[in-house]
Structure 1
Amino acid sequence: MSPQARAFEGSTAVVTGGGTGVGAAVALALASAGANLHLIGRRVNMLDAIGARARTMGVQATSHPADLSTSCGQLELTQRLAQVLSSVDILIQNAGIHFASALAQAKLDELDALFVTNVRAPYALTQALLPMLKARQGQVVFINSSSALLAKPLTAQYDATKHALKAIADALRGEVNADGIRVLSVYLGRTATEMQERIHKIENKPYRPELLLQPADVAYVIMNALSMPRTAEVTDIHIRPMIKT
C-alpha cells in the first residue's frame, strides 16, 4: 500500500472543480485515503459520477453544483457549505477558466469573468471556510499554473489572475501558519484536461494528451505533500510534462 493509504480516514475535504481533470483525480485520491468529499462544480452529473466512484471506497461524497463565475453563486455556495459542514480538514482550490487574446483586442468582460472565477471565488471560499480549517489545523491547496510565474503574449488577462492567486496563497500562508494551517501552491505545466484541449484548439495545435501531464500525476504529488509529517511544509510545487514538445 502507498504511504498515504487511509491517511485521511474520517477527514473532510472540499474540492472545487471536482468533476473532471485534476480536481476529480485529487478527489478520488483523497477518497482512497479515507477522506469524505464535498465536490463543487458546474455540472452535477460529473460531480455525481466522481462521488459514486468515491463511495465505492467507503467514504461519503456530496455534490454541490455551483456557479463560481458570479458573486451571487459564490455567496450561495458559501452559505450552503456553512449549513452542511461541521469541519474541514482539506480545501482543494482547483476551479478556473481560461481566455486568450492579444491585449489590443481582448474583451474587458472576459477579464472580469476571469477575475471573478479565478481570483474572487477561491478568495471567498477560503475566507468562508477558514474558521473550520483553523479548528482542524487543516491544509489548503491552490492548483495554479506556470502562467503565475511567467506571463506570456496573448494571455495577459489569464496570467494576471494566476499571478493574483499566487499572491493570495503566499499572503495566506504567512497569516495562518501560526494556526497550524499549511498552504500549498501547485504550478502546473500543460496537463491533459478539458481546458487544455480547448487551448490546443485555440492555438490550432493537435491535442495529444499522452504527451502532457496526467491528472493522476498531479494527484500523486499533492497527496504526498498533504501526507508529510507536521514538522514540514511544502509551499510550492512546480510540475511540467516530462516529454517536451
Structure 2
Amino acid sequence: MTRTHVLTGAGSGIGAALARRLAGRGDRLVLVARNAARAAELEADHPGSATVVADLAAPESLAAAVAAADLPGEVDSVVHAGGIVELGAVADLDVGAWTRQLTVNLVAAAELTRVLLPRLRARRGQVVFINSGAGLSAHPQWTAYAASKHGLKALADGLRGEEAPHGVRVSSIYPGRTATPMQEEVHRQEGAAYDPSRFIEVESVVAAVLVALDATPDAALTDITVRPGPR
C-alpha cells in the first residue's frame, strides 16, 4: 500500500535527501513550500508529488494552506525537517532573532501537526521531528536555536502522550553536526572554514528517520540520537 508523507524542509539538506528516498520507494509526497515558485521547483524535482504553499515563518497561514491543498483524508506521517539557525550570544541577539527561530522551528511545527492530526489519527500515523543535538544541550552562541529545539522536544514528549490513545506515534531524531547547507551557513556565522567530510553524512540521518517511519505498529521509536562516528 502506498504511504503518504507530509514533509517540510524538502528543498535542502536532510529533508531533500529524505524526499528522494521516500519517492524512490514509491511513497507519495506532500511537500510544504514557502511560496508558489518554490512549490513548482519541488514538484519538478519530485514528479507526482503534491505541495502545500505556506511559509513556516507565518504559521497562522498553515491551516488555510492545508485546507486549500489537494491532500488525502489520511496521511501516514508528517516529518518536520525545516528549520533555521541564527547564532549569537544572549547579550547580542535581538528579539527578532529569537522570534524567527522559535516561530519556524517550534510554533510552525506545532501548528502543522495540529492541523494534520485528524488525517494522522485516521491512518494511525506518525509524527517525526528532526530535532538536533541542540535539543538536548545548549552551548554558548546557540542559546536561541537550542531553546527552539528544547521546545520541540517538549512538543514531541507531550504530544506522544496525548496522541497514544489515537494510535499516533511520535519520534524525535537528534542529529549531531551534519554535512548540510545549514551546517555550511553555521560555519559562515562562526567565521570558520567548512569541511563537510568532518561531519555526519545526510544519508546517515535519513537512515535513522526511515527506521522510525518503518517501525512495525507494535513498536514506537521515541528518541534516536545520531552522533559522528570515530574518525
Structure 2 unaligned residues grouped into runs of 5+: none
**Cα deviations by residue, 1:184-226 (Å, 9 ceiling, x for unpaired):** 0000111111111010111121111122112211111211222
Q: Give, in whole Å, the separation in 1 of the partners of 2:196 and 2:38.
A: 20
Task: Report the counterpart of residue 18 of structure 1 in structure 2.
Answer: 10
What TM-score results when the alignment is normalised by the length of structure 1? Answer: 0.87
Report the Cα offset of residue 21 of structure 1: 0.8
Residue 49 of structure 1, CA deviation: 5.0
**Aligned equivalents of 1:22, 1:44: Cα separation in 2:** 22
Contact kept? 1:212, 1:243, Cα under 8 Å: no
Amino acid at match of 1:37: L
- 8 Å CA contact 1:20–1:46 kept in 2: the answer is no
RMSD between superposed Cα atoms in Å: 1.9
Q: Secondary structure at the match of 1:233?
A: coil
For 2:125, the equivalent position in structure 1 comes to 138
Alignment correspondent of 1:106? 93
Match of 2:160 in 1: 173
For residues 223-242 of structure 1, what are the structure 2 equivalents within 5 Å? Answer: 223-242=210-229
Aligned equivalent of 1:186, options 173, 182, 199: 173
Closer/same/farther in 2, CA of residues 140 and 71 from structure 1, 3 Å limit: closer
Runs of 4+ aligned structure 1 residues displaced above 6 Å come to none
Structure 1 residue runs without a partner (length 5+): 1-8
Q: Secondary structure at the match of 2:131?
A: strand
Q: Distance in 1 between matches of 2:40 and 2:179?
A: 21
Offset of 1:10 from its aligned partner?
1.6
Equivalent position of 1:77 in the other structure:
65
**Do structure 1's residue 161 and structure 2's residue 148 form an aligned pair?**
yes
Task: Look up the equivalent residue of 1:13 and give its one-letter code.
Answer: H
Q: Per the alignment, do residues 185 and 155 of structure 1 end up closer, same or farther by CA in structure 2, a change over 3 Å counting?
A: same
CA distance in 1 between partners of 2:83 and 2:145 (Å): 10
Query: Which residue of structure 2 lines up, in the alignment, with residue 41 of structure 1?
Result: 33
Q: Secondary structure at the match of 1:84?
A: coil
Is the 2:130–2:172 Cα contact (8 Å) retained in structure 1?
yes
Deviations 1:123-181 (A, max 9, x none): 00000000110010001100000001101111211111100000000011111122221
Separation in 1 of the partners of 2:206 and 2:150?
22
Q: Do the aligned partners of 1:14 and 1:90 also contact (CA within 8 Å) in 2?
A: yes
- Of residues 189, 208, 211 in structure 2, which corresponds to 1:221? 208
Aligned residues: 231
Look up the SS of the partner of 2:187 in the other structure: helix
How far 1:73 moved relative to its partner? 3.4
Q: Is the 8 A contact 1:24 1:50 kept in 2?
A: no
Assess, with a 3 A threshold, how the Cα gap between structure 1 residues 72 and 233 changes in structure 2: closer, same or farther: closer
Query: TM-score, with normalisation over the residues of structure 2?
Result: 0.92
Q: What is aligned with 2:191?
A: 204
CA distance in 1, matches of 2:119, 2:53: 21
**Offset of 1:96 from its aligned partner?**
0.9
The answer to whether the 8 A contact 1:69-1:121 is kept is yes
Question: Does the CA contact (< 8 Å) of 2:79 and 2:129 recur in 1?
Answer: yes
Return the letter of the residue paired with 2:57.
Answer: S
